[in-house]
Homo-oligomer: A and B are copies of this chain.
């Protein structure tokens, strides 16, 4: 019996059309990463659960896809539980009896009990999980291979990750991350280099972007001067609303979050911060004068801005104090990139983290990295029609198959066309013209080639431009010139 085939929810097939576009993005970022001396690594899809658990918070642990141990996993499970006895012990005897009596009718009771059993069973029957991001596997890689790596270690990594999230528009259970990091160097030149990479990638992809820049130490400084280190998020969230709700409402919100009138007063210049990046830096230096860490953040920011001035980047860089992504994780610079012509979230983000590898026992390895959001970049480029029509990966020309001598003639011409680096094919069956043209049309092949007895005798072929409909009779050399990208 035939099954109706489908794929798990939250996952995707990628068609040739989509793949060519996706590869255009990946190939572009890779070429830029490599131009700056970053090299690829890859890690296995499966990691030991001991590597993954506890790294993404309680919620993250739940969202890990876990892989059932192979073979007879149950005898281990049965033995560890000593079958029913342990479950009896484990669950309140009474609760267990109630479950057995009523579990089938009582959904809530059943789920509660089932969750307890799941929590006991999972670590016994699963030792491996699918990677949840590229950061933890990268940290594991650095620690595991620390003796083979020459630091600073500049690597990029483009691989899928898996999360058992509830699927929704734009959120998938399998998606690609595209990370570029350098670890083992505190130099702010690394931050600058990543900004150069952002500049170059988006110039090549033709997307207008603004790079927003902040520094975790400045946020710590702000909290320090008003003695409210637990309120950083509240403050950045409130400031972020300034344009929408106005200063009074922002101050009201801050008060409602428990900030004293004095504290609110102190940070007025920060809420109202405006002007050029340099003006903002000057103002911040004044406001944060009493905070050592705050001034350190301002210094770091200024060094980065100085480098950027020398490098004369086209990129618009904007100091934005409301940027607070990954607050518990980043320790210095924080970056975020937004597309200017499409309303969509950030398409690239990252920052400096001072302790990537500590979780695996290697202390004092500072790093800085950014991650390109391939799915969102894809959406932006699709929406703005930025993908090149003539992509070197697509098929440029198709020979119509007339069979016999004509077919052999076509095969020989194709050899020359391919030698010139052009992707081309011969329809494999000498079927009706219409069927062959349909194929070329559906595959969006821009040129169709025809050669019958007349062309063969003249050592030429007829080229049809599928967009304009124009036809011309050309030699092979002329053809190659016409259809080259």
Contacts from A to B (Cβ < 8 Å): 2-8, 11-16, 19-20, 23, 34-37, 39-48, 50-51, 62-63, 65-68, 70-79, 82-84, 99-100, 103-104, 110-111, 113-115, 117-118, 121-122, 125-128, 130, 140-141, 143-145, 148, 150-152, 154-155, 160, 162, 164, 173-174, 182, 185-187, 189-190, 193, 307, 310-311, 359-361, 392-395, 398, 401, 407-408, 411-412, 415, 418, 421-429, 438-439, 442-443
Contact = CB atoms under 8 A, between A and B. Distances in A.
B5 A143 contact: yes
Nearest to A118: B74
Given A428-B182, A438-B150, A3 B114 contact: no
Copies of this chain: 2
A19 B5 contact: no
Contacts of A442: 150
Contacts of A359: 2-3
B15 A50 contact: no
A13 B423 contact: no
Contacts of A443: 150
A182 to B, nearest CB: 7
11 contacts: A7-B47, A19-B41, A35-B423, A39-B394, A39-B395, A65-B67, A66-B67, A68-B126, A73-B114, A74-B117, A74-B121
Given A20-B40, A46-B8, A75 B111 contact: yes
A145 B113 CA distance: 42
Nearest to A7: B44
A37 B439 CA distance: 12
A114 B76 contact: yes
Contacts of A2: 359-361
Contact of A14 (B12, B41, B393): B41
